[in-house]
Amino acid sequence: MSEEKTPPAAPNLVDLGFMDARIKAIDIAAFFDRVQRHGQSDDYRVAALRAALPELLSGETGRARRVLEALSDQSEEPIPAAVIQGAFGAPRPTES
């Protein structure tokens, strides 16, 4: 006689992820406060982050991909010289 096993209940994703999301939202708000306080709100990376934020409230799936793409440098031309070690985390403004 075989016993039928009940599948496990789906995890409550809100219980599992809310506090982490809350921390990240507060951290982003604090970041915006700091850059504003120090007069750096016009930096292109801050502008790119602000432009990506409406995606968080979008009702359409694929938000993470769209935010990642909005905050990724899609240029293919190498820069003449690196000024930092690592990535900038947003599309660089084009030189005029």
At residue 90 the predicted structure's pLDDT band, cuts being 50, 70 and 90, is confident
pLDDT score, position 86: 67
Tell me 42's DSSP state.
Answer: T
Tell me 54's DSSP state.
Answer: G
Angle 44-52/63-70 helices, nearest 10 degrees? 160
Using CA atoms, how far apart are residues 9 and 6, in angstroms rounded to an integer? 9
Mean pLDDT, residues 14-21 taken together: 96
Query: What global pTM score does this model have?
Result: 0.76
